[in-house]
């Protein structure tokens, strides 16, 4: 019997992040996507979503680029240009904001001070590792893809409540 090669089960490839991404960013995205998918194995986490969340997340197209935004809308005190990501449910597409903070979670704001963008989603989110935080962002966008989460640009309270549910049911943060 021949050794190695053939006969093994190959794992299907996860979606990649399309756009002007560096190798390190692609790895950070892949780690976050794997983390998010792993959390969906928890019944409580999967129960947050209205559909087969794992299949929906695996079938989505992920782009890295500019998000068309209505600059008159502010969500949770964050200007649209700082949003982490946006979802087009009809196209089953998530766009990671090219000028947002999905990859640069801690940025200089002047006078030697730094801003932790994880803290923008609250104390519990700020306690997450960078990988877990990015997974939280992807799970949030999954809420839009599965139509579990409504239009949080018009109602930021929806976003806050859903993020708290993700933190509790997927990350065990209360």
Express each pLDDT in 21-32 by its tens digit: 999 999 999 999
pTM for the complete prediction? 0.84
Res 83: pLDDT: 78
Tokens of 73: 């809308």
- The distance of Cα 63 from the centroid of its chain, to the nearest Å, equals 12
- Residue given tokens 């782009």 in the structure block: 63
In this prediction, residues 79-83 reach a mean pLDDT of 66
DSSP state of 146: T
Tell me if 140 sits within 8 A of 129, measured CB to CB: no
Write the DSSP symbol of residue 86.
Answer: E
| Six token digits for residue 37 | 């998918």
Is 50 exceeded by the pLDDT of residue 3?
no
Contact 147, 89 (CB under 8 A): yes
The pLDDT tens digits of the residues spanning 85-136 come to 888 889 999 999 888 788 887 765 666 666 777 777 777 778 889 999 999 9
Average pLDDT value for the chain: 82
Mean pLDDT of 30-45: 94
């Amino acid at each position: 019997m021949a050794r190695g090669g053939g006969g093994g089960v190959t794992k299907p490839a996860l979606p990649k992040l399309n756009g002007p991404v560096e190798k390190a960013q692609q790895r950070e995205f892949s780690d976050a996507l794997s983390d998010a998918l792993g959390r969906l194995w928890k019944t409580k986490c999967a129960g947050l979503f209205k559909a087969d969340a794992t299949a929906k997340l695996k079938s989505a197209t992920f782009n890295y680029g500019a998000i068309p935004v209505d600059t008159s809308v502010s969500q949770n005190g964050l200007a649209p240009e700082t949003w982490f990501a946006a979802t087009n449910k009809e196209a089953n597409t998530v766009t990671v904001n090219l000028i947002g903070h999905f990859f640069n979670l801690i940025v200089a704001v002047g006078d030697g001070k730094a801003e932790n963008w994880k803290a923008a989603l609250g104390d519990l989110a700020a306690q997450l590792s960078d990988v877990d935080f990015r997974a939280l962002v992807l799970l949030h966008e999954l809420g839009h893809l599965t139509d579990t989460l409504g239009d949080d640009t018009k109602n930021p309270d929806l976003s806050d409540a859903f993020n708290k549910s993700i933190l509790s049911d997927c990350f065990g943060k209360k």
